[in-house]
Structures are given as structure tokens and as C-alpha cells.
Chains A and B, each alone.
Chain A
């Protein structure tokens, strides 16, 4: 049979890493093919090669049986390949239509025909039954919508083979379902789809075939019907992974954190509308909601990175509303920021330097109050690297050289290592592979079991339900209700996340 895509003996070296090592992979036309693997396994690299963004050092690519040599993305696009990247490739200042037609703009004479662009994009959308408003600015639409714009982009270019790199990492459950629906329709329309994801449930949901990469090597390709999640996990990580190590110890009654009437507005928009919450010692409180419902802002307000426009934050019976980030750190509030590369780490610092970031003024890292105690910093870093299983050649390596999962571990190691009482974790496992997810989950649970408290933001309901004692659901900056995770169902939470409040089922507010 003729495969839509065949990649033979693909090898790609980067400075200091062999990202792809003689990978052979074949993808049948008209199927959904999942590619899975740990962080840094080489999935994105392989796909970038297929899309012409990187040139392989060795190997060849066949599209529909024809050998191809791609010099750039243009060549791949001309071959009918489209790609939706891990990070959205959209310019927020411009409209959806502008973004979609980029590179293949409709013209009127010498000029760019913006009207025709909008019409054409609208036509593509309606043909594939995808809901987007082509005239809107990208900055004004939701992440789920942006995802759809990315898919429309590939369709507009007439892609027959569509690659999606971690398309669900930032989507809500509802949006993920929508995406699944779109993918099914595309498949019915005869398109071939390649999808990279870390979420194995989705793999089982969406795909026909599954390929597993590990350490740059192709490990196996399986039919979905002939495999299951534990086997995939084993193939990916090389061992069994136990997710859901939840301990059933009851949360304490002492208040760790009390938020009263928190209001936050930015750029003339009400982002948080009078939120009141209580978090106890020894408790994990999950914040659920569609991305952009305000839960991230709430987390950042507790961490002190954002200043609320109104309301008060009381921590261990002390009002800390006006306190700075540094003061809160001193008082024992740890923060795992959502964007590790932008907010969590100084990418050009070494691991050791990053491990004291924010704690550099602690007496144990400081000599004579003004100098860095490098000995202490280094020995401490070595200890943490062992303790948190950060995979690195040494503590002097720059964090930018680590894989996403290991970078996340550095952030977690730092915040947890500072012995916080309250940890604010904003999507701590985003884009991280199963092995690392397991480690991070265990760290958070252990913290809770030792009497610490956790404020956990996550877009993944499973994660929230697994880790949290209670779940607070947000919609459009409002608190829809707080549920006990032992009794709450996915459906309940899902409904509240899209705005229908469940009268009477609200958990105790304090």
C-alpha cells in the first residue's frame, strides 16, 4: 500500500544532542496517527523535519510514495503538508484572516485584497464546519479558537496531511472534545492527521495508530485496538508509572489562606469579580475553569505577582494584601508559575543559580549579608538534583539546555525546597511527560500529607480530581461553586465551567 508519509532513517543532530536517531515511521493515508514519547524524545524535531523547518542530517522522506527533499516549509506546504505547532504561530495584533492567508494572500493587482481574504477564510471554515470569525483580531479570541485558526491555516493552504504538535496542552475539556470532533470530520474528508500529545486518554480517543519514540529512537508502532495505556506508558518511559498516588488523610481545620472579595481588573476588563475562598492546612484546593476564567490571575494574586484592585489576602491570620513577592516568599508561600521558561526560570542561568532564584537573600545562601555563598549554593543544588531526579550532567549546566520536563522539575525543586507552607501551583504539569507528572504529583501530595497546603490551578479535570480535596470552579471571573472532589463528577464540574451554576450542590464556603 502507499503511505501518505514515509520517513526512513531520519537522523538529526543538534549541538550536544542526537534528537532523532535513524527513525523509520510510516503513516497510512486517511488515518489519525499519534506520536508519543517523553519530553525531549524528539517528536517535535521529527515533525519539524517533515514540515521542512529542519533539514535532516540523514534519511529520506516520501510523500504519497514520492521522494521529497524539503528546503523550507514552503516546499512542504506545496506538498500538501500543514502543521499546527506546539506554541501557536499567530500574530495577536492582526486579524484571523490576515494570519490565515499569510504567505498565500489574495491579491487585487499589486495590493493585498483583505476583503477576499476574509471571504475565503469564511468559506474554508464553513466547508469544514469550523466556527471562527475571520474578521476578529487574534488577540481577542480564546485559546480554543486560536487552535481552530491554526487548523484553518493548514486547510486554507490545501493541506492533505495535517500535523498537530501537542494541540490539547492548553485546551479545556470542552475544547478538547470539539477538537476531536473536528479531527474526525477531517479524517472523514480524507485528510491524514499526525498528532503529538502527552495525554494518553486522548491518544486512545483520537488515533488509529500510535508510534512511540524514546531518546530519539523509534520504539514501536502499534494499532490502537491492540494496545492500552499501561503498555504505552511502559514503552514511553521504560517502566511502569503509577499516577494517582492519592492519600486519604483528612485536611486540617486551621485556615492557611483566606481570600475576601478579591477583585481584579486589567485593561478595562473585570477579570476577577469578588472572589472569596478559604484554604486549610493539609489541604489541596483545586481551581478549575476554562483557560482565561481568572484562576491564573487569582494564583498570581496570592503569590504577589499581581496586585488586586480590591479585597484582601489573609495568610495564617496575617493580612498580606500589600506585601511584595519577596516578603511572601519569606513567609513561606511558594509559587510554581504557569510559564516556566518566561516566568519560572532565567534560561541563561545555570541550574544552581536558578535553584536559589528568589531565595538568594536567605541567610544560608548569603555571606556577610551581601555576598553569594557559592559553596552553599552548589552543594545545595547537587542535593536537589539528586532528590528531585533532575536529569542533567551537572549543576552548572544552563537550564535552557534541559528538556521541558526537567526544567519544570527545577522550578518545583526550588519552590518545594524552600520549605513553603503554602504552595501555589499553576498548571505544574503542562507539557510534561508522564514520568515527570508522576514525580510532581507525588511531591505535591507529600507536601499536603505533611500538613502543607496547595492551591492548584489545572486545566485537566483528571489531575484536579485526583489531587484536590476540594475543587473551586471558575467561570468568567466568578466563583461558580466549590465542590468536594470525593463526590463531584466530571460532568458537574464541566457544566459549571461553562457557566451553569449548580444550585444547592455548592460545597461549604468555609
Chain B
């Protein structure tokens, strides 16, 4: 077990957990304004595909990331329309969005590229400027710039939620939208903003998967990462720190699981290793104490419907 072994493992953990925590941060905004989002998967698929399209047509991966954000935003807007405007059922809307965008992206991919995956496009798999850093450059540069962007988003999110007026309002909407409405704040705008930010971040998470980790879009590539983001935000108790921690934990067990397979722990069937991250998740959950809850999560809030 050399140093480089640990570094490889660490990089693995970071890469595996990045999409989970970027999307998890998005979900944090969404849930904090009271909207449950089981559609993170769909938003990520949309983002991943749009990012590749953007990069494919312009040759510039950053434009791709921007397109990915727009892609996520479109899915987010749909979720917002249903949950915020029409007072729809959040869980169902989320599942519908995942199904719809899985279908639509596959469908567009087939119509545009004639295959279930796209050609390779300009990507963001490495951070060139960091490769010059002495000693660590080799490792720092090996990560996608989107990983660093993700870290930045986490820090910014911390400040946004706990240190800005907007954050104060977001916190309150998740607890009690009626109170916020009586304070003269537009609850629906708040809710829209949370869901849209979520769409945006899920779009980035999707773009990370298609452009940061790979350099093209494949059908089915999100492979459940969106659902893990849903888990991360709840286990992380709606705080950037916690979400980051949970994502890293799940990523760690996944990386370890892969390592255990490679090092051939004889006698343990691979399927039993593959379920390790999920078992670890349940174990951690059952050790968690003090169930915090957002009082208004997964509730409808409609105009002119309430008694004050």
C-alpha cells in the first residue's frame, strides 16, 4: 500500500462523490423551500445531454456546461411549474421528470447521432492550470475543473443559506410558508427560485458526468446518481457540510468496494461488495440521532387557499 495507492483511492472518492454532492446541494435548495425532488436524476440526465450538445456544436466545453445548466433548468422549471404553481404531488412529479427526460434524451440522442451515445466532444476532464502546481499538480490537475466548481458552490451555498437575507427566507419557507407570506414575501417566487437553482445545479452535476468525468453522453449514464443525491441531502440534514460529508461517505464506500474487488478478497461475491455503499448508508442513518425535519417539505402551497 503506497502513497500513490491512497491518492488514487482519494481521487476516486472525490470523482465518485462529486455529482452526488453538486446535485445534493441543488436538492438542498429545493427541499429547503419545501419541494421534494425525486427528479434529480431526470434533471441530471437533461443537463448531461444538453452539455454534450453544447460542446458538440460549439467545440467549447464551458459553453457545454452552460447548456447543461440550461438543460437542468428546463427540467427544474417543469418540476416547479407542477409543484409550485399547480400544487402537484412532488414525489410523482419527480418520478415523472426522471422518466420523461430519460426518454427524451435517449430519443434525441438517437435522432441526432443515430446511436445511444454521442460522439466524443471537447470535455473538461482535467484542470490544466493546476498541473503546474509543484508536487500536487499531477493530482490536482487530474480532477475536472467542475470538481473545484462544485467545492466553490458548496462554500457559496453555505453563505447563501446561513448568511444572506435570501437564505433566511429560504429557511423560513421550508418551515412555514404561511409565516413568510404574511411577512409580505412572495412564497411562490421563493419556491420557484429554490427549484430552479436545484435544476441549475443538477444540470451542472449532469454536465460533470458527461463532460467532467467522460467526454460524451451515454444512455443510462446517470445510473442512479440522482437518487443518491436525494439520499445525501436528507442524510446531510439539509446543510452543505452534511451533504458533502454524506456524498463523500457513499463515494468512499463505493471506491473501497471497487478496490476490494480488484484486490480479490476471495470468497466475497462481487454483488455483495457492490451493495456495500448502500448498506453503509443504512448503517449510518440508523446511528444518526435527532430526526430533523423540514416542516413544510412535500406540502402544497397554493394561492388564496389559506386561512391566516
Within the complex, are A and B direct neighbours (CB within 8 Å)?
Answer: yes
**Which chain B positions have C-beta within 8 A of A51?**
182
**Which chain B positions have C-beta within 8 A of A103?**
169, 180, 183-185
Give Cα distance in the complex from A94 to B176, angstroms: 12
Q: Are B186 and A89 in contact (CB under 8 A)?
A: no
Give Cα distance in the complex from A86 to B179, angstroms: 12
Q: Are A111 and B163 in contact (CB under 8 A)?
A: yes
* Interface residue? A320 (CB, 8 A): no
* Interface residue? B159 (CB, 8 A): yes
Q: Are B178 and A111 in contact (CB under 8 A)?
A: no
* Interface residue? B277 (CB, 8 A): no
* Interface residue? A54 (CB, 8 A): yes
Q: Contacts A91-B172, A94-B171, A103-B185 given; indicate if A86 touches B165 (C-beta within 8 A).
A: no
**Which chain A positions have C-beta within 8 A of B183?**
73, 89, 102-103, 153
Q: Are A48 and B175 in contact (CB under 8 A)?
A: no
Q: Are A98 and B159 in contact (CB under 8 A)?
A: no
**CB 8 Å contact bits of A54-98 with B (1 = contact, 0 = none):** 110000000000000000111011000001011101110110001
Give Cα distance in the complex from A83 to B183, angstroms: 9
* Interface residue? A44 (CB, 8 A): yes
With both chains docked as a complex, state the minimum distance between the C-beta of B168 and any C-beta of chain A, in angstroms.
6
Q: Are B184 and A91 in contact (CB under 8 A)?
A: no
* Interface residue? B164 (CB, 8 A): yes
Q: Are A89 and B307 in contact (CB under 8 A)?
A: no
Q: Contacts A89-B179, A93-B175 given; indicate if A53 touches B308 (C-beta within 8 A).
A: yes
Contact of B164 among A87, A93, A98, A112 (CB under 8 A): A112
Give Cα distance in the complex from A153 to B185, angstroms: 14
Q: Are B308 and A74 in contact (CB under 8 A)?
A: no
Q: How many residues of B contact A (CB 8 A)?
A: 24
* Interface residue? A107 (CB, 8 A): yes
Q: Are A53 and B181 in contact (CB under 8 A)?
A: yes
Q: Are A89 and B165 in contact (CB under 8 A)?
A: no
**Which chain A positions have C-beta within 8 A of B167?**
112
Quick one: closest B residue to A14, CB to CB?
B304
**Which chain A positions have C-beta within 8 A of B184?**
72-74, 76-77, 103, 157
Q: Are B180 and A102 in contact (CB under 8 A)?
A: yes
Give Cα distance in the complex from A90 to B175, angstroms: 10
Q: Contacts A44-B307, A55-B304 given; indicate if A112 touches B182 (C-beta within 8 A).
A: no
Give Cα distance in the complex from A48 to B176, angstroms: 18
Give Cα distance in the complex from A112 to B160, angstroms: 9
B interface, over-half SS: helix
**Which chain B positions have C-beta within 8 A of A72?**
184, 186
**CB 8 Å contact bits of A417-434 with B (1 = contact, 0 = none):** 000000000000000000
Q: Are A102 and B185 in contact (CB under 8 A)?
A: yes
**CB 8 Å contact bits of B275-308 with A (1 = contact, 0 = none):** 0000000000000000000000000000010111
Q: Contacts A44-B308, A102-B169, A102-B172 given; indicate if A91 touches B179 (C-beta within 8 A).
A: yes
Quick one: closest B residue to A165, CB to CB?
B308
Interface centre among A44, A74, A157 (most CB of B within 10 A): A74
* Interface residue? A509 (CB, 8 A): no
**Which chain A positions have C-beta within 8 A of B176?**
89, 91
Give residues of chain B (13-32) contacting chain A, Cβ–Cβ below 8 Å.
Answer: none
Q: How many residues of A contact B (CB 8 A)?
A: 32
**Which chain A positions have C-beta within 8 A of B308?**
44, 48, 53, 83, 85-87, 89, 165
With both chains docked as a complex, state the minimum distance between the C-beta of B303 and any C-beta of chain A, in angstroms.
9
Q: Are B168 and A98 in contact (CB under 8 A)?
A: yes
**Which chain A positions have C-beta within 8 A of B168?**
94, 98, 102, 105, 112
**Which chain B positions have C-beta within 8 A of A93?**
171, 175
* Interface residue? A110 (CB, 8 A): yes
**CB 8 Å contact bits of B173-204 with A (1 = contact, 0 = none):** 00110111111111000000000000000000
Quick one: closest A residue to B308, CB to CB?
A85
With both chains docked as a complex, state the minimum distance between the C-beta of A267 and any C-beta of chain B, in angstroms.
11
**CB 8 Å contact bits of B121-136 with A (1 = contact, 0 = none):** 0000000000000000
Quick one: closest B residue to A75, CB to CB?
B184
**Which chain A positions have C-beta within 8 A of B163?**
111-112
Q: Are A73 and B164 in contact (CB under 8 A)?
A: no
With both chains docked as a complex, state the minimum distance between the C-beta of B285 and any C-beta of chain A, in angstroms.
22
Quick one: closest A residue to B163, CB to CB?
A111
**Which chain B positions have C-beta within 8 A of A73?**
181-184
Q: Are A105 and B179 in contact (CB under 8 A)?
A: no
Q: Are B164 and A53 in contact (CB under 8 A)?
A: no
Q: Are A53 and B182 in contact (CB under 8 A)?
A: yes
**Which chain B positions have C-beta within 8 A of A107?**
165
With both chains docked as a complex, state the minimum distance between the C-beta of B177 and any C-beta of chain A, in angstroms.
10
Quick one: closest B residue to A106, CB to CB?
B165
Give Cα distance in the complex from A97 to B308, angstroms: 22
Give Cα distance in the complex from A354 to B304, angstroms: 27
Give Cα distance in the complex from A77 to B181, angstroms: 12
Quick one: closest A residue to B307, CB to CB?
A44
**Which chain B positions have C-beta within 8 A of A90?**
179
Interface centre among A44, A53, A86 (most CB of B within 10 A): A53
Quick one: closest B residue to A84, CB to CB?
B182
With both chains docked as a complex, state the minimum distance between the C-beta of A262 and any C-beta of chain B, in angstroms.
28
**Which chain A positions have C-beta within 8 A of B178?**
89
**Which chain A positions have C-beta within 8 A of B169?**
102-103
Give Cα distance in the complex from A89 to B185, angstroms: 13
With both chains docked as a complex, state the minimum distance between the C-beta of B239 and any C-beta of chain A, in angstroms.
13
Give Cα distance in the complex from A51 to B167, angstroms: 25
Quick one: closest A residue to B173, CB to CB?
A91
Q: Are A112 and B165 in contact (CB under 8 A)?
A: yes
With both chains docked as a complex, state the minimum distance between the C-beta of B192 and any C-beta of chain A, in angstroms.
15
Q: Are B182 and A83 in contact (CB under 8 A)?
A: yes
Q: Contacts A55-B304, A110-B164 given; indicate if A89 touches B175 (C-beta within 8 A).
A: no
Q: Are A111 and B164 in contact (CB under 8 A)?
A: yes
With both chains docked as a complex, state the minimum distance between the C-beta of B80 and any C-beta of chain A, in angstroms.
19
Give residues of chain A (22-72) contacting chain B, Cβ–Cβ below 8 Å.
Answer: 44, 48, 51, 53-55, 72
**Which chain A positions have C-beta within 8 A of B304?**
54-55
**Which chain A positions have C-beta within 8 A of B171?**
91, 93-94
Give Cα distance in the complex from A105 to B166, angstroms: 9
**Which chain A positions have C-beta within 8 A of B180?**
102-103
Give Cα distance in the complex from A48 to B175, angstroms: 21
Q: Are B159 and A111 in contact (CB under 8 A)?
A: yes
Give Cα distance in the complex from A99 to B184, angstroms: 13
**Which chain B positions have C-beta within 8 A of A53?**
181-182, 306, 308
**Which chain B positions have C-beta within 8 A of A44?**
307-308
Interface centre among A72, A91, A99, A157 (most CB of B within 10 A): A91
Interface residues of B (CB under 8 A from A): 159, 163-165, 167-169, 171-172, 175-176, 178-186, 304, 306-308
Q: What are 5 A-to-B residue pairs whose CB atoms are below 8 Å?
A: A54-B304, A76-B184, A83-B308, A89-B178, A103-B185
The 9 closest A-B CB pairs, nearest first, are: A105-B165, A74-B184, A103-B183, A89-B179, A73-B184, A102-B183, A77-B184, A89-B182, A112-B165
Known: A51-B182, A87-B308. 20 other contacts (CB 8 A): A53-B308, A54-B304, A55-B304, A73-B183, A73-B184, A74-B185, A74-B186, A85-B182, A89-B176, A89-B183, A90-B179, A91-B179, A94-B168, A94-B171, A98-B168, A99-B179, A102-B169, A102-B183, A103-B169, A103-B180
